Amino acid sequence: MTTWLLRRLIQALFVVLAMTVIVFLGVNVIGNPIDILISPDADQAERARAIAALGLDKPLWQQYLIFLRGALLGDLGRSFVFNEPALQLIAGRMPATMELAVTAVLLSVFVGIPLGLYAGLHPDGIVGRATMAGSILGFSLPSFWVGLMLIMVFAVQLGWLPSTGRGQTAELFGIQWSFLTRDGLAHMAMPAFNLALGSIALVLRLTRAGVRENLPMDYVKFARAKGLSPNRVVFVHVMKNILIPVVTVLGLQFGGLIAFSVVTESVFAWPGMGKLIIDSINVLDRPVIVAYLMMIVFLFVFINLLVDLLYTVLDPRVRLDSSQ
């Protein structure tokens, strides 16, 4: 177990290192941040001053070494645009994205699994078929379009929900959260649903497929023959067997929801990390781009670890030993 964990962490470190090199080179190839940041009224002397102030006058390899030295000391540099430590900036935006992503995952679990179970148990019923047909829309419609339709219907036409923004927040553990206030929840409803839509459809279809696959299996027949109640058969035995793929997908989806909530966040003007990263890319704010991607790599590694650990809980046959 310890070797397995260590090996995973070392792998993660290499991925992060490779990623930072790629980002450094990539940003450099796209363009010079100064061209975008500096006022058009600035003269040549001011331009030279600004380039030096941001440390862009040194050769790229030196800039990279300076960054690495800082990173080892826990300093990922300051944002060119906000003049704040990049990490602090990202951490400040993280709660908004996290609560959106967690809500979306919860929605996928509590809407997707029950609907999938129903559709799997009643594959020929009208409701079952309608659910399946609807789920196709769930993952095939582009999320910016769905987001705008939601705004048009629920904010502009019906006036039930606020169109954009995060609304009122309340403090918990020193962090501002929207889900603690009524106004915040109202603001969260549409973006969370919009973000969750694809995952709900995915989980629903996986669950249904799992149920259809497992029902004819011997262990189900045996359980029934043994006289177990239908509920116990479905909710304990079948459920355990279909959850492995669902958990894998949810883990990956969760990472994706956090890292790539860009579209939803921009449509709903949600002040999260996705919005930050897209704004930063637009102005080549390299420290923020690097710090963000490093964090995302760690996040994915962490989520994969969790998923692997969950496997052992769900399926006792799975072992984490490196020998296997």
- The residues binding another protein (CB under 8 A) are 30-47, 49-50, 53-54, 78, 80-84, 89, 92-93, 142, 144-145, 148-149, 151-152, 155-157, 159, 162-166, 260, 262-263, 266-269, 271, 275-276, 279, 281-284
In sequence order, which ranges of 215-238 are alpha helices (DSSP H)? 218-225, 230-232
Q: Are 241 and 210 in contact (CB under 8 A)?
A: yes
Q: Nearer Cβ to another protein, position 57 or 308?
A: 57
Q: Which two tokens stand for residue 199?
A: 């995952």
Bridge partner residues of 171 (DSSP): 176
Which residue shows structure tokens 């553990």?
A: 173
- Positions of E strands within 109-260: 170-172, 175-177
Q: Nearer Cβ to another protein, position 208 or 286?
A: 286
Q: Nearer Cβ to another protein, position 49 or 237?
A: 49
**Closest CB 259 distance from another protein, rounded Å:** 9
Q: Nearer Cβ to another protein, position 43 or 321?
A: 43
**Closest CB 54 distance from another protein, rounded Å:** 6
Q: Nearer Cβ to another protein, position 37 or 310?
A: 37
**Closest CB 37 distance from another protein, rounded Å:** 4
Q: Are 170 and 217 in contact (CB under 8 A)?
A: no
**Closest CB 306 distance from another protein, rounded Å:** 22
Distance between CA atoms of residues 210 and 225, nearest Å? 21
Q: Nearer Cβ to another protein, position 205 or 275?
A: 275
Q: Are 103 and 188 in contact (CB under 8 A)?
A: yes
**Closest CB 98 distance from another protein, rounded Å:** 15
Among candidate residues 182, 193, 125, 181, the one with its CA nearest the CA of residue 154: 193
Q: Which two tokens stand for residue 319?
A: 């072992």
Distance set, CA 299 to CA 93, 97, 249 (Å): 15, 13, 15
Distance between CA atoms of residues 264 and 192, nearest Å? 9
Among candidate residues 220, 214, 192, the one with its CA nearest the CA of residue 99: 192
**Closest CB 182 distance from another protein, rounded Å:** 16
Radius of gyration of the chain (CA): 24
Distance between CA atoms of residues 272 and 270, nearest Å? 6
Q: Nearer Cβ to another protein, position 187 or 208?
A: 187
**Closest CB 281 distance from another protein, rounded Å:** 8
The amino acid present at 177, given as its one-letter code, is W
**Closest CB 34 distance from another protein, rounded Å:** 7
Q: Nearer Cβ to another protein, position 36 or 98?
A: 36
